[in-house]
Amino acid sequence: MLGAKIPPEQKQIIIPPSEVEIVISDDQMSHLALVLPPIEDLSAIAAMGNTQYSVKEVAENAWHESRDYFVAQYEILKNKNDEYKSSPTYLNRLANWANLADMFSEESHYLLEAQKYSNNNFFKHRLGASLINQNRNKEAEEIFSSFDLSDDIQANLRLAYFAMQRHDVSNAELLVDKALEIDPVDFGARLFDGALKLLSGQFKKAVQSFRIAEEERPNSSALHKNKAVAYLHLGLIEKAFTSLKRSISIDPLNKNAVVLFADLAFSQRRSIEAISSLQFYLKYEQKDANVWSRLARGFLAEGNTEETIKALRKQASIENSVSVWNNFGLTYYRAGNKQKAYEAFKYALTENLLNDEKSLYYAARNISILLAEDCKYKESLKITKSLILDDESKNILSDDHLSDIYGVYVFSLSKVSGVEAALSISNDLLRTVESSKNLKAWLLGSQISYYSLVNDFDIAMALIKEFDYLIQDIDSCYPATRDSLINTLAFAYAESGQIDMADSYIKKISDLLLKEPYPTATLGLIYLKKGNVEKGTKLYEMAIRLSVSNIDKTKIRQKLNLELGKLAISENMKIAMRYFTKVVSTVDGSEELVKLGKKIMNNYLVAKK
């Protein structure tokens, strides 16, 4: 089914989403978040395995090296117990050394002893915190419940923390409200309140609480990250960017902020803005596969396949999984090296790697796409058909990424069994409730493009009208799917002579013009329809240069020849016929364009007779 390209989502690296952690306390309290592959890749991965560096591991090793010192200091001080055993200050110092040595049970013991000689709530608070470190939460909760909650902010917040652990949001809200009654501008209370407002969907109120907290402690990385999440829910993208940049500037090793920033930047096509923060983080945490995957994705989004491969090799040296090798394949594909792409996808499917079912489906999908692009339609059809037959639960059909398998099936079917067979399946899928939005968008674009190309504009426009609800919601689709459909709409309107509508749609993807072949070709078509032959031709020629695939180059040049032939009819029929001859004699081009070229030539011959 010519018109739309093969489903476009294979162009970007697929990585598992990260949970967005909402911090409710910025102190020591526990978080509550709310076939052989290319040989150079294997050798590089093996070489990197023992060279990764992690500041967390270094810190942990340093602590282990220091622990003997902490224990020794504890023992020295403990020898003075008979002399100072009734001194709260002495007992507190013993508890401090025990804490540094990770001797939490001893810490609790001395804090409990200190309470016998002092009425200061400081010791009770410390004891509760020590019990939390030992996961003795029930005992800790009993201690904090014993405080006078009418004037103890921290006790209320600790109890709210325990309530949230039990998913008792209502009680947590009551306790946080008590804390705010005591001090409306307390940082901890406002941070907790903002987190609760986020969880309940009160995003504007969450921002208000975070702003009040910011007045008290402007240099909290967790606070600015939380505020960014609230801004995202409000659709305030620029403010979310600003808050995340602030969070990372305060703490460049705040992984949750770094990852969220990278994901946001990617979704907004601004990956380049996140690359430096990812690189800085990875200087100190080189063993974090999750962050390496995002650096790889960022480089690929910017078209830097060389750096993408380097990042993927780092990731694979930590986590040699199906997902990583699938992403190797995608990167080699983007780099124009299909042989290595095939090898990587096959390696992902055949080797005993860390995997999940989805990753295997991704690799199978991508191999089927490569086969289709290489005109091995029967092989592609065989793979996709087998996957579809197994999809009785329609999990693949409803998955925004994996449903591409159905799209590749339709595309390959059009080449093996003809357009009518493909259109029949496509029509059914378009009107199947379970079909993912991205699949429907691709199928719709494919049909509109086909009917526009063969000058069946009534059907093309009827489809646009019927699926207007999908077009209006196109921004919620994946970027590549969105761009593909918008480009198709611009193409359809240009073909039907509705130039103003074509202009309005092509402007929606202006960032792709002169960068991606098909949008650039569509812009060229618009200029040709306006009568600007020189500008239109130059844009088509640029689109040909931008194309990675020889098949794409051929089809775009074939379409240019058809349009130039149409324009030449009124001035010089001999020149027009030369263009049409090129169209119909094109090898590995569009069958539909060949038919159109022959039709125009036959009409001319009939008229001449």
φ/ψ of residue 196, rounded to 5: -65, -40
**AA identity, residue 10:** Q
Q: Locate tokens 């290319």: which residue? A: 38
Q: Same domain for 348 and 473?
A: no
Overall pTM surpassing 0.75 (yes/no): no
Task: Give DSSP secondary structure letters for 544-596.
Answer: HHH-SSHHHHHHHHHHHHHHHHHHHTTT-HHHHHHHHHHHHT-TTS-HHHHHH
Domain annotation covers residue 394: no
**Greatest alpha-carbon span in the chain:** 123
Residues in the chain: 609
Q: Same domain for 329 and 478?
A: no
Domain annotation covers residue 410: no
Average pLDDT of the segment spanning 536-553:
93
Distance CA 71, CA 268 (A): 52
Average pLDDT of the segment spanning 177-186:
95
Q: What is the pLDDT of residue 400?
A: 86
Average pLDDT of the segment spanning 323-345:
89
Q: What is the DSSP letter of 604?
A: H
Domain of residue 126, CATH code: 1.25.40.10
Do 371 and 337 form a contact (C-beta atoms < 8 A)?
A: no
Distance CA 508, CA 483 (A): 8
Q: Same domain for 93 and 239?
A: yes
Q: Locate tokens 């695939």: which residue? A: 549
Radius of gyration of the chain (CA): 32
Least confident segment among 312-316, 356-360, 379-383, 451-455: 356-360
Average pLDDT, the chain: 86
Distance CA 278, CA 275 (A): 5
Domain annotation covers residue 442: no
φ/ψ of residue 159, rounded to 5: -65, -35
**AA identity, residue 504:** S
Identify any residues that bridge with 321 across adjacent strands, giving them in sequence order.
354
Q: What is the pLDDT of residue 392?
A: 92
Q: Read off the pLDDT band of 133 (50, 70, 90).
A: confident
Q: Is residue 114 over pLDDT 80? A: no
Q: Locate tokens 């224990």: which residue? A: 71
Domain boundary among 316, 339, 356: 356
Q: What is the pLDDT of residue 97?
A: 76
Distance CA 395, CA 66 (A): 53
Do 300 and 13 form a contact (C-beta atoms < 8 A)?
A: yes
Q: What is the DSSP letter of 16?
A: P
- Helical packing angle, 221-233 and 237-250, nearest 10°: 170
Domain annotation covers residue 269: yes
Q: Read off the pLDDT band of 607 (50, 70, 90).
A: low
Domain annotation covers residue 393: no
**AA identity, residue 44:** A
Least confident segment among 12-26, 148-162, 178-192, 260-274: 12-26
Q: Same domain for 351 and 476?
A: no
Domain annotation covers residue 400: no
Distance CA 56, CA 60 (A): 6
Domain annotation covers residue 378: no
Q: What is the pLDDT of residue 479?
A: 82
Contacts of 286 (CB under 8 A, 6+ apart): 52, 53, 54, 314
- Helical packing angle, 479-495 and 499-506, nearest 10°: 160
Domain annotation covers residue 427: no
**AA identity, residue 150:** S
Find the angle CA(229)-CA(437)-CA(244) to the nearest 5 degrees: 15
Q: What is the pLDDT of residue 4?
A: 47
> How many domains does the structure of the chain reveal?
2
Distance CA 90, CA 124 (A): 16
Q: Same domain for 340 and 469?
A: no
Q: Read off the pLDDT band of 52 (50, 70, 90).
A: low
Least confident segment among 13-22, 416-425, 552-561, 571-580: 13-22
Burial of residue 59, with CB atoms counted within 10 A of its CB: 0-12 exposed, 13-18 middle, 19 or more buried = exposed
Tell me the C-alpha to C-alpha distance, in Å, between residue 354 and each of 12, 349, 351, 357, 359. 21, 11, 9, 10, 10
Q: What is the pLDDT of residues 83-101, one digit of tens each?
A: 777 777 877 787 777 777 7
Q: How many CB atoms lie within 10 A of CB 449?
A: 26
Domain boundary among 308, 324, 356: 356
Q: What is the pLDDT of residues 474-500, one digit of tens each?
A: 888 888 889 999 999 999 999 999 999
Q: What is the pLDDT of residue 35?
A: 46
Tell me the C-alpha to C-alpha distance, in Å, between residue 131 and each of 34, 128, 153, 164. 22, 5, 19, 18
Q: Where are the alpha helices (DSSP H) in 118-202?
A: 121-133, 137-145, 153-165, 169-182, 187-199
User: Residue 424 in 3-state DSSP?
Assistant: helix
Q: What is the pLDDT of residue 486?
A: 96
Q: What is the pLDDT of residue 14?
A: 66
Average pLDDT of the segment spanning 60-83:
67
Burial of residue 541, with CB atoms counted within 10 A of its CB: 0-12 exposed, 13-18 middle, 19 or more buried = middle
Task: Give DSSP secondary structure letters for 209-275.
Answer: HHHHHHHH-TT-HHHHHHHHHHHHHTT-HHHHHHHHHHHHHH-TT-HHHHHHHHHHHHHTT-THHHH
Q: How many CB atoms lie within 10 A of CB 463?
A: 21
User: Residue 54 in 3-state DSSP?
Assistant: strand
Average pLDDT of the segment spanning 357-363:
81
Q: What is the pLDDT of residues 432-460, one digit of tens each?
A: 999 999 999 999 999 999 999 999 999 99
Q: What is the pLDDT of residues 589-600, one digit of tens each?
A: 898 999 999 998
Distance CA 317, CA 45 (A): 5
Q: Which domain holds residue 237?
A: 15-356
Q: How many CB atoms lie within 10 A of CB 87?
A: 16
Do 162 and 29 form a contact (C-beta atoms < 8 A)?
A: no
Distance CA 108, CA 134 (A): 9
Q: Same domain for 243 and 122?
A: yes
Q: What is the DSSP letter of 354?
A: B
Q: What is the pLDDT of residue 606?
A: 62
Domain boundary among 321, 356, 391: 356
Distance CA 260, CA 566 (A): 51
**Which residue, 254, 302, 250, is CA-closest to 275?**
302
- Helical packing angle, 404-416 and 357-373, nearest 10°: 30
Which tokens belong to 425? 């399946």
Q: Is residue 584 over pLDDT 60? A: yes
